Amino acid sequence: MKRLQSAADDAEEYAAATIDFAIAAIEEAEYATLDAVLVRAEADEAADAAK
């Protein structure tokens, strides 16, 4: 019984850690997207200025 409780605790901790990792990945993807939009806007502005 104690081994099953321990396995359940480990599974819950793993699930929580995986959720935390996923949330961090989503936040990083949001920052990467914003950075890409900013860099694209700067590149387009520079291309327009060069015409």
Tens digit of each residue's pLDDT (9 = 90 or more) over 8-32: 999 999 999 999 999 999 999 999 9
For residues 11 and 16, what is the distance between their CA atoms, to the nearest angstrom? 9
For residues 11 and 19, what is the distance between their CA atoms, to the nearest angstrom? 12
- In this predicted structure, what is the pLDDT of residue 33? 98
- In this predicted structure, what is the pLDDT of residue 31? 98
pTM of the model: 0.74
- In this predicted structure, what is the pLDDT of residue 26? 98
Mean pLDDT of the chain, nearest integer? 97
Measured torsion, CA atoms of residues 9, 14, 16, 18, in degrees rounded to the nearest 10: -170
To 5 degrees, how large is the angle CA 12–CA 17–CA 18? 95
- Asked whether the predicted pLDDT for residue 51 surpasses 90, the reply is no
For residues 34 and 28, what is the distance between their CA atoms, to the nearest angstrom? 10
